[in-house]
Amino acid sequence: MNVKGAVEAALYSSSENLSVSDIAAKTGIPVEEVRTAVMDLRRDYEERDSAIQIARIGSEYRMMLRPEYTEVTGTFAKAELSGGALRTLTTIAYYQPVLQSELLKLRGPRVYDDVHMLVEQDFVARKRAGNTWELTTTKKFAEYFGIGSTRVKDIKAWIKERATNLHDESEKE
């Protein structure tokens, strides 16, 4: 069996992030060979300027679409989030940690349904804060959108960059 091919297949087929040791344990390939294969694959995808990347998220890896290609997939893939829910999620991500009571002032009463659905889909975590909830994004949020970090400042920068790009594109039209 081709080691690089086996590691690529593992990354492709997994719906979760994988560590080098996870891949090694499940494939029977030595850890060092898996580590080398992951690095080679990352380089291969980068060199051919592929729409796919092997992203490093903490100490784990995931095969995913590069963020700049997500607009293309929107015409082919059915959106899991409505526009309103996506705006609520973006607001939570930008202002996190944010109290649901503050989010209510920003987005209106629809936040109750949106937050319930976002928590259910594991994009948002909540914890009690008096009579309300404190809301933050989850690791799944960062992975789903290809942010590459769960740090609040990185998420905020990512949102600002996307907003700037959208604004610049709309001015061109």
> Which residues, 6+ apart, have CB-to-CB distance to 139 below 8 Å?
57, 150
Q: Tell me if 123 sits within 8 A of 138, measured CB to CB.
A: yes
- Render pLDDT for 39-72 as a digit per residue (tens, 0 to 9): 999 999 999 988 899 988 888 998 888 877 766 7
Q: Greater confidence, 20 or 169?
A: 20
Asked if residue 126 and residue 170 are part of one domain, the reply reads: yes
Whether residue 112 lies inside any domain: the answer is yes
Report residue 75's pLDDT band, with 50, 70 and 90 as the boundaries: low
Asked if residue 90 and residue 31 are part of one domain, the reply reads: no
Asked if residue 103 and residue 22 are part of one domain, the reply reads: no
- Render pLDDT for 112-162 as a digit per residue (tens, 0 to 9): 989 999 998 889 999 999 999 999 999 888 888 888 788 899 888 888 887
**Last-in-domain residue among 21, 38, 68:** 68
Which residue segment(s) compose the domain that 23 sits in? 3-68
- For residues 55, 58, 59, 60, the Cα torsion angle rounded to the nearest 10 degrees is -40
pTM: 0.55
Asked if residue 173 and residue 106 are part of one domain, the reply reads: yes
How many residues does the structure list for the chain?
173
